[in-house]
Amino acid sequence: MEVGTAKPDEQGITATEVWRNEIEDLRRTVEALEAREKHFAGENLSGLGMKELKQLERQLRVGVDRIRSKKRRIIMEQIGYLKKKHKDLQEENNNLQKKLNELQEASTSSMILESDATRLFQRS
């Protein structure tokens, strides 16, 4: 036997022939997937019959429905997040408004006390 030649198995098929067949099967699978991808993109439709076109249309409709459902879910999650953020910001705003009012009241009280002290000092 020569170096580099494959030894046939019981059915007379060599490992090289098995790999060639596997490669050919994979090549056909890739071609079929590429054709299907083109069909989904609306290309190369001339070879399709009515049955295939209806099946493609149904598959596209199902895909669009799934996409829309996913979009709705994401939008609802975003709305929920934004509502919570809005509520949190309103609470923070209310707290800041209370602090501002307290500071203004304290400042007003301080001014009244200072003016009273100034009047008392001027009388003396």
Distance CA 91, CA 100 (A): 14
> Tens digit of pLDDT for each residue in 3-35?
455 566 666 678 899 999 999 999 999 999 999
Q: Collapse the DSSP code of 113 into the 3-class scheme (helix H, G, I; strand E, B; otherwise coil) and give the result.
A: helix
Task: Choose between 120 and 91: higher pLDDT.
Answer: 91
pLDDT score of 2 more than 80: no
Dihedral, CA atoms, 41, 46, 51, 52, nearest 10 degrees? -40
Domain count, the chain: 2
In a domain, 2, yes or no: no
Task: Choose between 121 and 82: higher pLDDT.
Answer: 82
Mean pLDDT value of segment 60-64: 97
Mean pLDDT value of segment 55-62: 96
Which DSSP state fits 83?
Answer: H
Residue type, 12: G
81 in the same domain as 110: yes
Domain that holds residue 108: 51-123
pLDDT score of 112 more than 80: no
Token pair listed for 56: 């493609």
Residue indicated by tokens 């001014």: 111
Distance CA 68, CA 59 (A): 14
User: What per-residue confidence (pLDDT) applies to 108?
Assistant: 83
114 in the same domain as 86: yes
pLDDT score of 1 more than 50: no
Mean pLDDT value of segment 73-99: 98
105 in the same domain as 65: yes
Which DSSP state fits 48?
Answer: -
pLDDT score of 37 more than 80: yes
Mean pLDDT value of segment 48-66: 96
43 in the same domain as 27: yes
101 in the same domain as 67: yes
Q: For all residues of the chain together, what is the average pLDDT? A: 88
Question: CB 39: neighbour CB atoms within 10 A?
Answer: 19
65 in the same domain as 31: no
Mean pLDDT value of segment 70-86: 98
Which DSSP state fits 12?
Answer: S
86 in the same domain as 98: yes
